[in-house]
Structure 1
Amino acid sequence: MKTSLKLSVSAALLALSCVASAKDWTTIRIGVDPTYAPFESVAPDGRVVGFDVDLGNALCARLKAKCVWVQSSFDGLIPGLQARKFDVILSSMAATAKRREQIDFTNRLYRNQTKLVARRNSGAKPEATALQGKHIGVEQGTVQETYGHEKWAPSGVQIVSYQSYDQAYDDLTTGRLDGVLMDAVQGKLGFLDTPRGKDYAFAGDTVYDAKIMGDGDAAGIRKGDSDLRDALNTAFAGLLADGSYKKIEARYFDFDMYGK
């Protein structure tokens, strides 16, 4: 009986300790795929930089927490979060219904669009019939990869997955790909506006499917870490309210990323 009582007391104390530590977010480890300029990339000095990084650092500052940035491939972000390699995903990740089955998300941080990048005057269109037999690059684990496999592959479009879009750009410029399906902002600033993208352009209209692509990008949180999710939501609302979000946005974009 005494042993059972001691075990019960010990278990209760352990549970209370776990709850306390779960709410003590003095350090927040953030997973990021740093191959996605201007959202996240690696600077010459080895630091991870970009819009998401500045946004994450501002959120941590609001919470009086230290940000620790942990690099990962994009398709390794959700498994890494679940394995507790980091506490948050902040890496231009769309909060889709499929991903919500595995993890939780904060409120929307911004919206992005999906477009097809192809050689100028190629006549390419982001339509299954127009791309039949073509090779289209996507990044592993992205909504663009899901869209390509679900909407285009059944019609004979060859979807080629890469660990990073930099690899896809290389194959696009050497002719091994006919196009790349990607976030429009990253495509413009990370490729089209650079010297190697001068012969390329967006082809056709924006590609969108609500079920596959969700309604904006957000920070990913483990299910059960609702205290961290709520704290980040409160901190983000503060950034919007006092103009800090706009100041961060203006460092990278000359248009509204948040949207309505």
Structure 2
Amino acid sequence: MRRRAALTAALAFASAARAQAPQRLRIGFAVGYAPFSEIGTDGQLKGFEIDVADALCRHMGMQVTPVILDFDGLIPALQSRKIDAILASMSITPQRQQLIAFSSPYYFSPVRMVMRSNAGLTVSAQGLKGRRIGVERGTIHERFLAEQFKGSQVLRYATQDQVFLDLKAGRLDATLVDAVIAQFGFLNHAEGRGFGFHGPDFGRDERHYGKGIGVGLRKEDAPTLGKRVDDALAALRRNGTLKALNDRYFSFDLVSQR
């Protein structure tokens, strides 16, 4: 009798422990884009979006399980339930909203062309006609170039780091990229010497670039997990957490509502 009671108590304790353990949220990241998400020298993930994910999950009583993927594999992984959410500087656009749902924006980013400062090129469809422009595959930049720079040679890469390598080596004339990623991942480093931003901020084109950067979610999860994420983001704005994370990484404001 005592053994049965002890077993019942042990099972009840294990069940209670499972109930109290935080639910894991599998979040897809596309790493290699300082200061948003990268792997540090200690092998640990770090960056603005990593910290935003941690803050969101803490507020929701959940625990982050990071899943590292190429950018163009994020939406398929979400749709096939390999991940539960995306935090990877993904713009909220009408095209993507046909496939997945989004939270409210957690930051806004300018989009610029990066070229050699002495290239003498004009950033326009005519000025870059026949020129080689590198872009990360699966991004809205790829679609924008295909529509707006039809006379250019658009070369597609798995990661933006590969684009920067070919730009530095002279195999590209330009790249279209989020300005923050270009600043911190290339221009602030020795390999970015002699390069700079050119042309307008294409991120202001809401028709192509949407309404900011949001957390990607499955459509069927929008009323449940999506609402929890939106409520958590609103709370992080109100209590100053989102602005504090912004100020930890950036000298300019990316998180205030437009």
TM-score in terms of structure 2 length: 0.89
1:213 to 185, 206, 209: 209
What does residue 180 of structure 2 align with?
A: 185
Range with bigger deviation, 35-44 or 129-138: 35-44
SS in 1 for 2:25: strand
Q: CA RMSD in A?
A: 1.3
Deviation at 1:45, TM superposition (A): 2.1
Alignment of 1:148 onto 2:148: no
What does residue 202 of structure 1 align with?
A: 197
Percent identity, aligned pairs only, is 38
8 A contact 1:126–1:207 mirrored in 2: no
Q: Distance in 2 between matches of 1:145 and 1:124?
A: 20
SS in 2 for 1:91: coil
SS in 2 for 1:159: strand
8 A contact 2:243–2:255 mirrored in 1: no
Range with bigger deviation, 91-100 or 247-256: 247-256
Paired residues in the alignment total 235
Q: Deviations over 1:108-142 (max 9, x none)?
A: 11100110000012122321100011000000111
Q: What code does the residue aligned with 1:211 have? A: R
Q: Distance in 2 between matches of 1:178 and 1:39?
A: 25
What does residue 243 of structure 2 align with?
A: 246
8 A contact 2:24–2:62 mirrored in 1: yes
1:107 to 99, 104, 115: 104
8 A contact 1:90–1:218 mirrored in 2: yes
Q: Distance in 2 between matches of 1:35 and 1:127?
A: 29
Deviation at 1:189, TM superposition (A): 1.1
Alignment of 1:222 onto 2:218: yes
Range with bigger deviation, 201-210 or 134-143: 201-210
SS in 2 for 1:110: coil
TM-score in terms of structure 1 length: 0.88
Q: Deviations over 1:31-64 (max 9, x none)?
A: 0100211111111222221111100000000011
Q: Distance in 2 between matches of 1:25 and 1:70?
A: 18
Q: What code does the residue aligned with 1:201 have? A: G
Q: Which runs of 5+ in 1 are unaligned?
A: 1-23
Q: Which runs of 5+ in 2 are unaligned?
A: 1-20
The aligned runs of 1:89-108 (5 Å cut-off) are: 89-108=86-105
Q: Distance in 1 between matches of 2:131 and 2:75?
A: 30
